[in-house]
Structure formats: structure tokens, C-alpha cells
Structure 1
Amino acid sequence: MQSYLLKNATVVNENKVFKSDVLIEGAYIKTIAEHIDAEGVEVIDAEGKYLIPGMIDDQVHFREPGLTHKANIATESKAAIAGGITSFIEMPNTVPQATTQELLEDKFAIAKETSYANYSFMFGGTNDNLEELLKTDPKNVAGIKLFLGSSTGNMLVDNEEVLKKIFSSTELLIAVHCEDEGTIRKNTAEYKEKFGDDIPMKYHPIIRSEEACYLSSSKAIALAKETGARLHVFHLSTGKETHLFRNDIPLEEKQITAEVCVHHLWFSDADYEKKGTHIKWNPAVKTAEDRAELWKALLDDRIDIIATDHAPHTLEEKSNVYTKAPSGGPLVQHAVIAILEKVKEGVLSIEKAVEKMSHNPAKIFKVQKRGFIKEGYYADVVLVDPKVSWEVTRESVLYKCGWSPFEGVAFSNAITHTFVNGNLMYNEGAFNEEVKGERLVFDR
């Protein structure tokens, strides 16, 4: 492997920003020091650039196997590294669903051959696979995913007895999608009666309402407290839900943690008029007041992680009427840059951004030797130029689906280099396709 010496980088790590050289040897960070001399290395001048740990995205849908007309692990992991994401955790609702150990390992086998980023996958819980779920290896699998709101196939877990058994039986992290299915079905029926299938998009956050989210998340948290389960609540979308979480204890002591996604921090219901189904997500993007409350909870540490919930669909699929247009959108290429734009606007510090995108996912999932810029850790690092202005165009999008909800947005930061396991995988628009990422390992 080529060794690299990054000179004069502005390093962001563990709530510190400092000027330093960084030597990468093999897969690891060898030395971090004010001045390093080394022979036989490729020198990269990082003057004026931030060096940050690669983002660990704890929630993506890369659509393989079975839905590869939308995306696949190769295309989306390439977009991810161009966007500064060096590791991802992918969800089980593919076709077939990863609800047996054999099907889960099939996905790992695909990623081993095709993923440019580091990877892990979640095992999918159902109403009837507890025995199989309990075989999940905590050292080699990110966690258990439960859909407490509607999902594909039979992945809706709505049997309360089964839920309690799952929460009581595993020490693995349980990640949940929380929306109350009964509330959503009732609201959908009401608006279909008024509008048929072509329901105006502005009603999406009313159909998938604050009530639907809060009912489900509060119930999951109550169950976790009752059983002692390790719970992680995905993609909070309402201000009301943020008050269910604590910030009075260190992250390492939390049994219940929370995530917010980039789209819930960026968009509001005012954007439906222009963006339409392109910003149709579950849970729905809600009001500007909800967005402000999510930012507040992120900054005061009630919310622990920023993620993407990257979930691509084709433009043809997204162009359907409301009831037939699928929810989800592609985000991994622009997520880090979008958050860094908020840093420039003064919404959060770059130290806090790195904490939420890199450090905290590593801590919460106990990812081995990643998520920090430390000697002896894997060299999963990203150089960011804070002086480049550019606009997201359809032509610049790397997703297989070929579009982005950020089209037309002007950014003033750019990712120039991404290292994965010490390999320079992305270099100012050029990709290294000779090597692949590695399976994440967890210290459990």
C-alpha cells in the first residue's frame, strides 16, 4: 500500500481544531504531529483544508439485492465516499429481506466484492423470527432493525408480545422506525376519500403526523425502559419527540439514543410546493418549528447522531401520484457538505458536526478503531476545502437513480480527498476502483 503524508492540515477531532501533519501507513494513522518528515511517501498539501474523520452513516438503503434498478452497493458506496462517508450501515428491507442469518450473510458477500466504503448490515426483525434473530453475532453485525411503522413485505412488527420478547431477549442494539400504523392508515383513508390517489403533497406531514410519530416512539422508549433493552430511535422528525430523550448523562451511559437525518434538518413543509414527492420521506418532513426543535435537541445532546436514511427511487417512481410515489430519497453524496454548510452559517460548530457524524456513531455502535483521527486507528479520513463554491446539478449526481433533492443548492465547501482504510479512494473527482472497503467489526 502507498503511504501518505498530509501536510499542514486543520484537524478536527474530539472537540479540538488544530494544525498538524498526519502520516498514514498501510491501513492506519501512524503519526499525528506538528511536523513530520518521512521518505517514500506521497505528500498531499492540506494547507487551508479541514481533515475530518469520515462520516459513519448508521442508516442507508442501498437496495441490493432485489431492487437494483434503483441503486446497488457499488454505485451508492462510490457516491458515499465522494461525499465523505467512509462507513455505512445498511437496512434489511431489501428483496429478499435480511431476516435470516443466511440472507444477511448474502448481503455481506455482495459488499465484500463491490463496496468501496466500509460496511455493515442490520438484521431485520419480524413478528415470527425471534429464534433466528437471537443467532446474530454482536461482533460482526451492526444491530437489529425493527419497523414499528409500515415497511415492505412482512417487516412491520406490530405484535406487542413479540416486541416485548425481542426487547427482553437480545443485548444487541435495537434500532427502530417509529410511526404508529393505525394512525397513519386512518389519516390516509380520510384524505383518500377527499382527493383520491392524487393527495396534495402538503398533506403528507398531516397524514404521517406528529401524533403517529410520538405514539410509536414513546411506546418504544417505555418498552426499552421496562426491559432494559439498548434502543436507538431512527430519524426523529418532530419537536415533541425530542423531549423523550436525555442529555444529563454521558453518551456512554445512555441506554436510549436518537438520530436525526439531514433532510429533517434541512427541509420543512414549506418546501413541498416546489420539491413535491422528491422530498417525500417517512417519517415526513414537518414544520419549520419542528426543524428548529430538532436542531436544538441536536445541539444540546438529546439527539446523538446525524445520518442520511439514503433511500433512492427512480424519477419515474417518484413522479407518480401521492399514494403511488414511494418515500425516500438519495443523500449520501451531499450529506456531509450540507451539514458543513450549516457550520458556515453558524448553526453548529465543526467540532459538533464531526461529533454527531463520526464520533458518536462509532461510540453508539462500538465500531472498532474508526470514527476518530487517532494514532493506531484506521485511516478513514476526509479532506474538505472550505473555499470552493459549487452547485448541485443533475449531471454531477453519482447515484444510480440519477437525481438529488439538493439539485440547485449552492454549497461553499467541497470534499477533495477521501481515504478508506488508508487507501486514497477519492481524489478531486477521480476514483480508485482497485480496492474495496472492509466489514466493520464491533467491540462488544
Structure 2
Amino acid sequence: MSATLIKNARLVNERSIIETDIKIVGQRIERIASNISSKPGDTIVDAQGGYIIPGMIDDQVHFREPGLTHKGTIASESRAAVAGGITSYMEMPNVNPATTTIEALEHKFSIAEQSSFANYSFYLGATEDNLEQIKQLDPQKHCGVKVFMGASTGNLLVEEPAALEAIFRDSPVLIVTHCESGAVIKQNIQKLAQDKSPLTIDDHPILRDEDACFASSSYAVELAKKYQSQLHVLHITTAKELALFESGSIDKKHITAEACVHHLWFSNKDYERLGNQIKCNPAIKYPSDRDALLQALKTGKIDIIATDHAPHTWAEKHVPYEQAPAGLPLVQHALLSLLEQVHQGHMTITQLVEKTAHNPALRYGIQQRGFVREGYYADLVLIDPDTTTLVTNDNSLYHCGWSPFNGHSFSAQINKTWVNGNLVYTNQKVVEQPVEAMRLVFNK
């Protein structure tokens, strides 16, 4: 069998950077060593001193299929993801109809099997009355159950204490939570509306403030401690919440925390320029919160970095604030934004790899991914740290056709992406080929 031989790479993996060659045969990494010899028929890739990293594993995306495909599809958004160096993702249940049954969950897997460019898994959505469906989840086949604790749309909202207690007691899989208190948000809206009408985007971090976040996330942590549940709190946005989490290695934790790329990049000062484009829940907050999140990445209080990619059409975003949907498209430019954080000294590239690949693989128990190791699947990204990338709406691959980074020039470039040993992105283009992505399997 012919091989792909990556030469002259700087491999960033397991807290070190080494100069090495990497040999890919079929779907897997066969050898990592200096000066690997090629054979006739092998494909040679000269990395020219660029970084090779394990592909980003994004544990939180919204790809909008089924039912919301005017915003995005599994095909369109995973295509943008591989262009951004994301090789695996876990997708959320707030589609139409919501993914609240095992049957609906497996239907999404069947769509991805035919159309996804990246490896995939999907969450079941919790409701106040689908505990029996949650109990049927298979820890080796399903990534987790998503619980919207106090702020959601449709029936994906679990506020009743007895329902929450049952989920935290009986879930056989990882519980991931969106933590904002609906009661606190309602109080904030009533208070602010007394003095101001209409509300504007500048009010968003006031309405969905640190108290709304802390009230919900502290409740989730309390339940997880009570039942020794496996809990992963998504998209932490405030300095106050960080007191709930422990520093250190992810290995022995049963309660972990995530930050998202946009909360590490933007602050409330960007609302004037970008308006509803960066309206999201939980809200982008203040520079002090952003700085605290960046520091928490270094100490290990924040374990994982994800995107919460959530596309909406340009027209949907350009309505009055209170009617505008929350969420923004991010997968194509997430890794570039994190490389910029490295360039600015806010994290090291080894920390970036740990938070985007190693730790998601460890937290979810993903089988043979998230590390560059012999025998593992060849989910790899080649980064050119010396070539800039100008983002425009026109070169964004999202179905919605726009990016909040429009006009920004990042200091690095995604050169190539491999998924299961297949080159899926090169020369600034997605390789249009038969889908070779796989369903993620978990060691649990």
C-alpha cells in the first residue's frame, strides 16, 4: 500500500515540539521518526518546518440539520470545519425536530455517514420527560446528553429540580450543560426595561450577566458532586464561575469546564462594531472576564476549547436586537484565532494542542484520536506559522456566507488537513472526494 510521508515537520504533541517525519498508511499513522525513507508510489509532503498538530476535536457545534438547513447543513459546516483544521466534532440537539429520542439521534448519524467531511458524533437533548431515552444511551456509541439548564427554546429546557436530579443520578453518559438561569435573566430584563426601551445589543451582557451564569453553573456542579456525575460545563464566560472548577490535569476530574474561541477573542467593546453578529448565549462579556478565561487555560481550570459554532443567515442577524437569534459561525477560523493567541503570548502552542485535541479525546474517551501516535487515526493539520490568512465573507465556506472575522488578517495559515489519512484540505481548497469520515467511538 502506498503511503503519505510528511517530511521536515515540527510535531506539536504531548507537551513537546520535535522535528520529525510522519508516515501515514491507509487511515492510520504507521511511523513517527527522523529521516523515514520513501518508497516508489509514496506521496511526499514537505512541511518545510511547519507545525503538524492533531486535528482539533470540537465538542460543541450546531450544524442545523435536520430542519434548519437554510442556515447550514452537516455537509456545508463540516466542509468549513476541515478547512479550519477541525477533524472531529460533536453536534448539538437543537435542530427541528429536536434530537430528544434515540431514533432521532441515529437519524443524524445516518445523515453524517453520507455527507460529513469530518468525524462526527451527536448529543441527545434532555427534556423534563425523556429520562428513559437518556438511559438508553450507549457510552461507547454516544458522546453525551445536552442539558439546557434554564435558558433555551422549544422543549429543550430542564428547570424542574426533580427532572434535573434524575438526569444527574441516572445518565450513563457524560452530561454537558448550558448554564444560564432563566429566572435571573427574567429579573434583569424586567429591571432594565423599566428605564430603557427598546433594548440594544449593548444590553446583552447585562441581561445575561455573571449572576445568571453562576446561579446555573453552581447548581450543575452541586448536582454533579451530589451524584458523582460526569459533568462538562460548556462555554464558561465569567471570572466568577472559575471558582467552581479545580486546576490541574484533566485525567482525574469528573467535573470539567470549557471555553469557546469567541469568548477568548471578543469583548463587550466589540458590540459597537459588530452588533448582532456576535450576539450569542452565554453573552460575550467584559475584557476582565476574557483575561480571566485566558489565565484559567494556563492553570487548567479551563480544560477544553471549543467553538459553539452556530450559523444564522445575514438577514436573520440584521433585525432589531431582541428578535435577532444568538450564535455565530466559527469553525473555519477557530484554530486560526487560537494560533493568534499563541502569537500574542496568551498561550503556548502546546497548550493550544492540549485544549483542542488531547483533552477532548481524554474527557470523552475518544478511541485512538486526539494525539499523534503510531497506530492512531491520522487526523492531522499542517500549519504554516509564517503565512497570513485574510478572512473575508467571500472566502468563508459557511452556508450562511459571512464571518465575524471578516476583514481580519490572521498571522498563520491552515496549509493541509487530513481526516483518517485522507487529504481533505490543501492549497486553500477543500478536496471534493467521497466522504471518508467516521463515527466517533468511545472507550467507556
TM-score range for the pair, normalised by the shorter chain length? over 0.9
Aligned residue for 1:92?
A: 93
Query: Shift in Å at residue 2 of structure 1?
Result: 5.6
Once the two structures are TM-superposed, the CA of residue 193 in structure 1 deviates from its matched residue by 4.4
Query: Following TM superposition, by how much is the alpha carbon of 1:303 offset from its aligned partner in structure 2, in angstroms?
Result: 0.5
- Structure 2, unaligned stretches of length 5 or more? none
Equivalence for 2:30: 30
Shift in Å at residue 267 of structure 1? Answer: 0.5
User: Which letter does structure 2 place at the counterpart of 1:394?
Assistant: N
Letter in 2 for 1:363: L
TM superposition shift of 1:435: 2.7
Give yes or no for contact 2:4–2:45 (8 Å, CA) kept in 1: yes
- Contact kept? 1:373, 1:379, Cα under 8 Å: yes
Q: 1:82 maps to what in 2?
A: 83
Distance 1:353 1:173, change over 3 A: same
Distance across 2 between alignment mates of 1:286 and 1:174: 25
| Residue 50 of structure 2 corresponds to residue 49 of structure 1 | yes
1:184 equivalenced with 2:185 (yes/no): yes
Structure-1 separation of matches of 2:3 and 2:100: 41
| 2:380 corresponding residue in structure 1 | 381
What letter corresponds to residue 81 of structure 1 in structure 2?
A: V
Q: Name 1:111's counterpart in structure 2.
A: 112
Matched residue type, 1:15: R
When the two structures are superposed, what TM-score results if normalisation uses the length of structure 1? 0.98
Alignment correspondent of 1:16: 16
1:162-241 equivalent positions in 2, closer than 5 A = 162-196=163-197, 198-241=198-241
The answer for the alignment partner of 2:127 in structure 1 is 126
8 Å contact kept, 2:27–2:378:
yes
- Taking structure 2 as the reference length, the TM-score comes to 0.98
Q: Distance in 2 between matches of 1:407 and 1:434?
A: 28
- Percentage identity across paired residues of the two chains: 51
Residue matched to 1:316: 315
- Secondary structure at 1:243 match in 2: helix
Q: Structure 1 stretches of 5 or more lacking a match?
A: none
1:249-328 equivalent positions in 2, closer than 5 A:
250-328=249-327
Take 1:390 and 1:91, find their aligned partners in 2: how far apart are those partners?
29
Aligned-residue offset at 1:42: 0.3
CA RMSD of aligned residues (A): 1.1
Q: Letter of the 2:308 partner, please give it.
A: D
SS of match in other structure, 2:289: helix
Amino acid at match of 1:247: S
The separation in 1 between residues aligned to 2:127 and 2:225, in whole angstroms, is 21
Segment drifting more, 56-65 vs 143-152: 143-152
Q: Is the 8 A contact 1:2 1:423 kept in 2?
A: no
Q: Is the 8 A contact 1:148 1:177 kept in 2?
A: yes
> Is the 8 Å Cα contact of residues 79 and 333 (structure 1) preserved in structure 2?
yes
Task: Give the corresponding residue for 2:6.
Answer: 6
Give secondary structure in 1 for the equivalent of 2:7.
strand
Q: Distance in 2 between matches of 1:132 and 1:212?
A: 29
CA distance in 2, matches of 1:275, 1:333: 19
Residues 268 and 285, structure 1, Cα contact 8 Å, conserved in 2:
yes
- Residues 282-333 of structure 1: CA deviation (Å, up to 9, x unaligned): 0000110001111111110010000000000001111111110000000000
Deviation at 1:337, TM superposition (A): 0.6
Name the aligned partner's letter for residue 81 of structure 2. Answer: A
1:355-394 to 2 correspondences below 5 Å? 355-394=354-393
Question: Is the 8 Å Cα contact of residues 358 and 371 (structure 2) preserved in structure 1?
Answer: yes
Summarize deviations over 1:186-230 as a string: whole Å, max 9, x none: 22233344444x412111000001000000000110110011100
The CA distance in 1 between the partners of 2:294 and 2:2, in whole Å, is 41
Q: CA deviation at 1:261?
A: 0.2
Q: Is the 8 A contact 1:62 1:72 kept in 2?
A: yes
Letter in 1 for 2:362: K
Which residue is 2:102 aligned to?
101
Task: Give 4+ residue runs of structure 1 displaced > 6 Å after superposition.
Answer: none
Distance in structure 1 (CA, Å) of the matches to 2:73 and 2:2 = 29
1:363 is displaced (CA, Å) by: 0.3
Moved more, 230-239 or 144-153: 144-153
What is the count of residue pairs matched by the alignment?
442
Change (3 A) 1:356 1:367: same
**2:336 corresponds to:** 337
Paired with 1:207 and 1:174, the residues of 2 have a C-alpha distance of 26
1:209-262 Cα distance to aligned partner (Å, 9 max, x none): 1000000000110110011100000000000001110015x3111010000000
Distance 2:150 2:266 in 1: 22
SS of 1:296's partner is helix
Q: For 2:94 and 2:260, how far apart are their aligned partners in 1?
A: 18
Distance (Å, rounded) in 2 between the aligned partners of 1:158 and 1:234: 17
- CA distance, structure 1, for counterparts of residue 140 and residue 396 of structure 2: 35
The answer to whether the 8 Å contact 2:151/2:179 transfers is: no
CA distance in 1, matches of 2:263, 2:150: 18
Shift of 1:384: 0.3
Deviation at 1:389, TM superposition (A): 1.7
Instruction: Name the stretch that deviates more: 302-311 or 405-414.
Output: 405-414
Match of 2:427 in 1: 428
Verify: 1:396 aligned to 2:357, yes or no: no
Q: Could you say what secondary structure the match of 2:60 adopts?
A: strand
The 2-side partners of 1:357 and 1:409 are apart by 22
Q: Which amino acid aligns with 2:364?
A: F
SS at 1:10 equivalent: strand
